Structure 1
């Protein structure tokens, strides 16, 4: 049950069809109910909010089916081809062992300092600041997969080896900086800056760093059918290494900001970006805050919930002789549920939509439980339609100012 402190944006309460804590023990993948992907989220809503949530659910269902069909036809099949399944089956113990130890630093290793970053001007299509300037940053990423068995195959993706980010600066002095991580396929800087209201935060006095995740945008391969395709098209072990790569490169950008004299850094991200931001909070004590927005926490359960990927994944697991628990264990190293955050709960906040069907509220709920019931803001919308957005933006601004993250 959500405490009165979390009754916001017309959402009065939250009740799941099973009472008590969802994950009752450790490791989480052995205690999360096997049918979790089939659970329905149940909110107690007022009349207006009920209509808003019901309507946005249907929009998400259509969008989810479209994305799932695209991924199911163009990405998932190559992940589940026999040769790839054999590799994942052989190597999955490597990743499960690290997740079972609960030490995020073993997998998300600190990058070397002293990386040289390049700067260039942005295109005219990007957001134009009312004052200050924007640099497009890049560097040659030195990341190597943690598992030696995947290093040769991962290194073939040469375009992915260059990291990119857009840096908005007031220019008068180094300022507290909000790091922004985009969602799956949604890498354009202009899209994320507006969707997450970064111009508004910039006007509050903060600098902004918009990062590009591996296999997205300029990092996708020349034959990639869509941005982000490489995240999910090379097997589950590759997916975990991609998450390690994302964390590695964000930390290099953090080193750069620190070397520039930036006094404070915090992170927010949406969807896959929220998934990544939550993991960053497991390894980075330099973060002043972490605010995942409509986050995912168990990638396997998302695949099992989306149609038609659910059919493809279940078929693949059956052919591989793997249970759902086995599959969760194989990908657990990339979930924030496997590790304790480096930040105290007072510096953690979650934002989620009651009608979300791409990253259902139950995912936010179990992360909220794992994060010792940190601050939580529900809004009456779905994954992309965020009704009452102004309320949660003001709540986020109040939160970061309350903890001393000041421009």
Structure 2
């Protein structure tokens, strides 16, 4: 297969190849613009997503419950939460990515070992698992001791698929909430296809996920929401920091072209990284969340716990929204050029509704924008958007 070729797209997970399309000048299509078949898929996939959203919101709510309970029993904790919100709101108001997301000051010391045979079978190539000690220190001084105490989370993990003939243009992939398994992401993102197309591939593990989950965490990703707003803000800051250390490593090994994609929470993170680091050649957020505070308002029962916590701590909605902008890509200008930004959205998505992707599209100067008629998990027309991604990246990743 020639470098960057979009031939023979054959996702490991079979999905219907019902074409989506690029957005028009006004953005996503109206319902009347869709074919009957597309409308049926959008409607049915949206109904399926609502059930998944309720289940996921219950999981998130359970993680948040101890913090809400502590706010009731410990008034100083409630006061500390308000102080944290004011801290992040002030940081967000500066709109300075260098202030909010300081760059790593030392190169990572990478430990590498061969991955298991299943990973090498999937890639049909050389695969190594990487890890290194995170150099992250919390931006908020009040959170430094807490964040520094996470022994497992402060060891960064990634999986690297490499060709034997030297470094290739590298596609980096960031998973979604609770979806950190390398095998799962390799299949879902059709990474063997990209590897055969000539890309090296790097799968990055988000904070508190996979092997970064703290001991006794009930599930991968639990720690993301278990420490209140400040904990989530610092986790996102660490996600950016540790990924930038990973870029340092890739550059050290000779990689000079890096594309970045991610799904859901990974799409959010990839868009944020593209607003902080100018070493990314292309960024492709896939079904991204960009306003998590607004999203949680729709997620029952987590929305009830958030509202209860705000009432207990006497937190104004305006303060919460201002603080949430600290880690939102909507608060910063993208550093990746406009012609190297592509957003992908599912019209039937109810976990990360396509309107969130459209807000990012507006903020990013109406860059390339592709939709498919599926939901958050069932990416109907995935072969179509894989071809779209390949065409989009080919010119500057393999020139």
Question: What residue is the counterpart of 2:367 in the other structure?
Answer: 374
Question: What residue is the counterpart of 2:31 in the other structure?
Answer: 43
Indicate yes or no: 2:162 matched with 1:174. no
Distance 2:45 2:67 in 1: 31
Distance 2:59 2:123 in 1: 38
Match of 2:347 among 344, 354, 361: 354
What does residue range 323-362 of structure 1 map to in structure 2 within 5 Å?
Answer: 323-362=316-355
Quick check: 2:86–2:319 contact (8 Å CA) kept in 1?
no
Q: Deviations over 1:276-300 (max 9, x none)?
A: 0000001111100110000000111
Question: What residue is the counterpart of 1:4 in the other structure?
Answer: none
Quick check: 2:123–2:192 contact (8 Å CA) kept in 1?
no
Distance 1:12 1:133 in 2: 35
Match of 1:9 among 2, 19, 26: 19
Indicate yes or no: 2:248 matched with 1:259. no
3-state SS, counterpart of residue 330 of structure 1: helix
Quick check: 2:106–2:135 contact (8 Å CA) kept in 1?
no
Match of 2:356 among 355, 363, 369: 363
Shift in Å at residue 65 of structure 1?
Answer: 0.8
| Structure 1 residues 12 and 108, CA gap change in structure 2 (3 angstroms) | closer
Quick check: 1:174–1:262 contact (8 Å CA) kept in 2?
yes
Quick check: 1:224–1:230 contact (8 Å CA) kept in 2?
yes
Distance 1:203 1:236 in 2: 41
Distance 1:134 1:146 in 2: 34
What does residue range 228-307 of structure 1 map to in structure 2 within 5 Å?
Answer: 228-307=221-300
Indicate yes or no: 2:160 matched with 1:150. no
4+ residue runs of structure 1 moved beyond 4 angstroms?
10-15
- Structure 1 gap ranges (5+): 1-7, 22-40
3-state SS, counterpart of residue 184 of structure 1: coil
Indicate yes or no: 2:397 matched with 1:405. yes
Quick check: 1:12–1:46 contact (8 Å CA) kept in 2?
no
3-state SS, counterpart of residue 156 of structure 2: strand
Q: Deviations over 1:199-226 (max 9, x none)?
A: 1111100000001001000011111111
Indicate yes or no: 2:181 matched with 1:188. yes
3-state SS, counterpart of residue 48 of structure 1: helix
3-state SS, counterpart of residue 335 of structure 2: coil
Which of 1 and 2 has higher RCO (CA within 8 Å, sep 6+)? 2
Distance 2:183 2:314 in 1: 44
Shift in Å at residue 127 of structure 1?
Answer: 4.9
Distance 1:245 1:368 in 2: 25
Q: Deviations over 1:53-88 (max 9, x none)?
A: 011011111111111112212x11123330454322
What does residue range 74-153 of structure 1 map to in structure 2 within 5 Å?
Answer: 75-80=63-68, 81-82=70-71, 83=74, 84-129=77-122, 131-153=124-146
Shift in Å at residue 14 of structure 1?
Answer: 8.3
Quick check: 2:119–2:127 contact (8 Å CA) kept in 1?
no
Quick check: 1:79–1:236 contact (8 Å CA) kept in 2?
no
Distance 2:23 2:338 in 1: 21
3-state SS, counterpart of residue 210 of structure 1: strand
Please report the TM-score for the alignment, with normalisation by the length of structure 2.
0.90
- Structure 2 gap ranges (5+): 1-17
What does residue range 24-43 of structure 1 map to in structure 2 within 5 Å?
Answer: 43=31
Distance 1:130 1:42 in 2: 39
Quick check: 1:297–1:336 contact (8 Å CA) kept in 2?
yes
Q: Deviations over 1:370-390 (max 9, x none)?
A: 000010000000000011111
Shift in Å at residue 12 of structure 1?
Answer: 8.7
Distance 1:318 1:381 in 2: 37
Quick check: 1:43–1:354 contact (8 Å CA) kept in 2?
no
Indicate yes or no: 2:314 matched with 1:321. yes
Quick check: 1:11–1:46 contact (8 Å CA) kept in 2?
no
| Cα RMSD (Å) | 2.0
Question: What residue is the counterpart of 1:210 in the other structure?
Answer: 203
Shift in Å at residue 131 of structure 1?
Answer: 4.4
3-state SS, counterpart of residue 86 of structure 1: helix
Question: What residue is the counterpart of 2:6 in the other structure?
Answer: none
| Structure 1 residues 316 and 130, CA gap change in structure 2 (3 angstroms) | closer
Q: Between Structure 1 and Structure 2, how many residues are aligned?
A: 375
Match of 2:45 among 38, 56, 60: 56
Please report the TM-score for the alignment, with normalisation by the length of structure 1.
0.88
Distance 1:313 1:129 in 2: 41
Question: What residue is the counterpart of 1:72 in the other structure?
Answer: 61
